[in-house]
Structures are given as structure tokens and as C-alpha cells.
Structure 1
């Protein structure tokens, strides 16, 4: 009750300086501020006392019910508080959920239908909980592995293409102008530009700059989930971009040849070994100029 009283008095600007400071330091203050933005326009009409008295005198047979004016703020606060609870519920229900994995991190979470998602470093997913079982659709920026529960069609939308499934396990990666999809179980439908194709267990497809190439996959899940960064015909710039995401570092490249393609794996949990493999492959020398910055120079 004390918490509700403070909330009501805050809505009516009736807190002392000390009470206000304590209230603003509370863990729910940011949420209350958002609620107040939605309810500030609500006003309780001012009472016209003369008109009220005249109306009462004209209705002699009706016993008047007097409402003390000092309770006016309580009525307003109660109405706003009830509305605020409704708005809070609506915000939780309808506003999109966002899951992120920062550089050097991975995030695992469950969707409302118990489908499992693992976000790779530097990735983000947005989806709506409301009516999820009838509209299983989400937006992905970056890379994620999906283990989808059976049900209605499940769609992953990226800025490069769309993947649709019913119940399966697959990996989607959309980075810059490259779109990779790997199917580990079941079947997935891939839409890219004006192309559409079906992938089954162990198949993968890559689209880059309008070109398409496919490959067979023997693994049962993405290599990055086992701390291995896997590359298939990727140039050194794309390779270094991924290393920066996995290790949360900055890399500067001073080399003329940036078009040679790399196919292989790098460890995602041992930076020194990763740098050594890159240096040997491209005939570069890696220099660590600070805790989080690496420079590659030609030998």
C-alpha cells in the first residue's frame, strides 16, 4: 500500500524533495515514467460548486451525496493507476521483444513455443509474443541457430532473404551482402531475391553478390557453437570482420591482396592461434598495439 500511495502522490506532484529523490532512485521508476507519458493527458474536470449547489436545491426529494474535494486527487490517481496497469500489460503483450548478442558474446533463449534460438556474436532478433503460435515470424540481423518446435510455419526474415520451415534445425547468417543457410534436420525453404529453393538435411546454400553456390555439411550443428569459426570461400575482410565480432577486438589490415578466398576454420576461443593461422595463410605479420587492437602488415 505504501508503494501505491507514493505512486499516486507522485502522479499528482505531491511528494517532498526527499520522497521524490527516493522514488526516482527506485528500480521501477523508468517504467513509471513511460506510463506517465501515456497518462499525462488525462484530466479530472474541475468542480463547478455553484452549479452543483443549484442542481441539489432543485432536486429536493433526492438525498445529496457529498464528495469531499480533498479526495479529488485520489480519484485521479486511482484512475490513472488502473489505466497504467492496463498500458503496462499491453506494452508487455504487443511491443516486440528484442534479443541481442554483443561482440564477444552469445545468447541462448526460448521462444513462446519452446523453439530454441542461439544468437552468434554481433547479432539481434526481434519478434512479437502476441499470437505467436499462429504467426511464428521473427527478424534477424546477423547469425543464429534455430531448433524449431513443430507447429505452424516458422519464418526468419533478414535484409537479404527469408527462410521458412515447419519444424527443423537450421542456421541462418546474413552479413553485409552475404546470405548463408544450412539445414541440419528436416527441410527449409529459402527465398533470395527472385529465387526459391528447398534444402534438406546436410545441405547448405550461399548467396553473395548475386552468385549462388551450394555445399554439403556433415556436422550436426554450427561449428561456431563449438568455438570454431567456419569459413567457406570468404575474403579476408569478411574473415577479419567475424574475428572482430567473436573476440570483441579491432583489427587494422595493411595489405594489397584482399580478394583471395579462405576456406577453413579458426578457433573462437584462442586469439593467438587464430592470428597465427591468418598470418601464415596470407603472409602477414600480426602486431598487438593495445589490449583490444591488432594490426596486420605485409611481411
Structure 2
């Protein structure tokens, strides 16, 4: 068997014992083995694509004889490695994002089996590749968490960070609104305005940069999991915004003080009942045109 065929069969891992002995006697044998070892030693977590490509070509160029067939084969190997490793790094460093639209809830299981329930028009983003080293995600919206025990678990928002080990809690972050409620275990909340540790039933609330004291929470989980939004002395504008998210409508109004506090709730399953729930307590009337709702004083 000629030299080129031996090398080709070596590349295909298809040498029989007799051919293997003949291959070892080739003048290029040491250089080819060195090249093979360099390819084996590639480590995907730290590989530099350009460096990998250069290493292959350095080994090829150090070979005393460069038959065209061998050179073409090794070129293909180098090109495939570059593409494969490039694709590997592109896919493994991408963040995973889950989101919901209006009127939608979604259940998500994280890599450590922690569970997340997303409320309407909410988004979480996390990276699977380093999850075991850093259990950290970013939330924009509202979500209820059941965190598996393990390393520190961080929920990052634009207003503050929520840190736990293993517990159940709810986080709502909408623009300048941040509300964190602990249902089980302990929850640490860190923001520019205040840092605190929550115990079951405790709530941390910041609206427009101001920390607001709240009543004890007696429920075992947030009401929105049961398709009902509940508010305790919350500005009416937040109630309207949540209504729009749950029913995918636009609410318009004039001469209504949307900063006044509202205490009450509305269902997510019946828009007529829900509208009465948020208008009657404030003596408001409403009218509907397609997906636009207009509020006015009686």
C-alpha cells in the first residue's frame, strides 16, 4: 500500500495491524502523531478558534513532505474543526430567554430543577452553560419561584437583586415598581433604597424610588397563580397596567387620579366582572370599543 493510502486510512481510523506497522515506518510518522495529539488536546471550554487553526497549519507546515492529497485532507480537518468549535461556542454561550405575552402564564424548569411560573408579559433570561457555577437570572416582569436547595440563587432586576438559597417567593418588577414577597424560607433583597431579609409573609415594596411598608401576607402563594390579581393600597395606575397585561386591552381615562391607592382584586377569567371590580369601588364608569376601554367619573 502506498504512502498516501496509509495516511488516508490512518485518518479514517481504519488501519489493520500490518498496515499500522507500515504506517509507523513512514518518514512523516512523528509529525502526524504530533498533529493528532494536538487535535486530541483541544479543550472546548477554553479553545481559541484562531489559535486552533494556526496550530493545525503549523503542524502541517512542519512536515517534511506535503503530498497534495494529504495537505487537502488536513485542510478539510482544520476547516471542520474551526466550524464545529465556532458553532459550539456560539450555541453554549447564548442566553436562554423565556417570555410570556398578554393574558399568558408559563411554567419553566431551570437546569437545577428550580421552578419558575411567569406571569403575563414577563421575561426571564439565564445561561445554561454556567448555571451550576452561578445560579443567576434576570427578570423583567413578574414570576413566582420555587428554588431547589443548593448554591446562592440570584434574581436580578433593574431596581434590585433578590438572593436566596432554597425557598419560595414572588418577584414583580415593572418600570419603577419592585415587589418581593417571601412565602417560604428566607429572601435577601438588595437595592439602592434598602437592604433587608424577608421571612415568610414579609413583603418588600418600592414604588418610584420610595420604600413602602406593607401588611403581612397570609396567602401560601401569589393570587395571580389562581388567575386573580390582588392589590393592597397600591396606586391605581399599577392596577390599570396589570389589567391591560391580563386582558390585552388598552385603558384610557381623563380627570382620574391614577396615583390614588386601590385595595381590591380582579379575576383574569371574566372581563366584565373584572371591570366592575376595578371601577365600582372608585365610582367610575366604563365603555368598550374593540380592545380599548375608556374610564370616566359617574
Distance across 2 between alignment mates of 1:109 and 1:92: 20
- Cα deviations by residue, 1:35-55 (Å, 9 ceiling, x for unpaired): xxx99xx9xxxxxxxxxxxxx
- In structure 2, the partner of 1:283 is 283
2-structure distance, mates of 1:257, 1:145: 30
Q: Output the CA distance in 2 between the equivalents of 1:80 and 1:122.
A: 43
In structure 1, the partner of 2:170 is 171
1:205·1:215 contact (CA, 8 Å) conserved in 2?
Answer: no
Q: Number of residue pairs matched? A: 238
Unaligned runs of 5+ in 1: 1-37, 43-58
**1:123-158: per-residue Cα shift (whole Å, max 9, x none)?**
111111122122111111111111000000101111
**Is structure 2 residue 128 aligned with structure 1 residue 126?**
no
Cα distance, 1:178 vs. partner?
1.6
Q: Name the CA distance, whole Å, in 2 between partners of 1:84 and 1:244.
A: 46
Alignment RMSD, CA only? Answer: 2.5
1:1-299 pair list within 5 angstroms:
65-67=67-69, 79-209=78-208, 210-290=210-290, 292-299=291-298
Q: Residue 230 of structure 1: CA displacement?
A: 1.2
Q: State the SS of the aligned residue for 1:179.
A: strand
Q: 1:249 to 1:81 in 2, by over 3 A?
A: farther
Structure 2, unpaired ranges of 5+: 1-48, 54-63
Deviation at 1:122, TM superposition (A): 1.1
> In structure 2, do the counterparts of structure 1 residues 76 and 102 end up closer, same or farther at CA, with 3 Å as the change threshold?
farther
Tell me how far 1:269 sits from its aligned partner.
Answer: 1.4
Retained in 2: the 8 A contact 1:133–1:151? no
Q: TM-score, normalized by length of structure 2?
A: 0.73
Q: CA deviation at 1:77?
A: 6.5
CA distance in 1, matches of 2:294, 2:282: 14
TM-score by length of 1: 0.73
Could you tell me how far apart the structure 1 residues matched to 2:176 and 2:125 are? Answer: 20
The answer to whether the 8 A contact 2:264-2:277 is kept is no
CA–CA separation in structure 2 for the residues paired with 1:270 and 1:88: 48
The 1:112/1:279 distance shift into structure 2, 3 A limit, reads: same
| Deviation for aligned residue 1:108 | 1.1
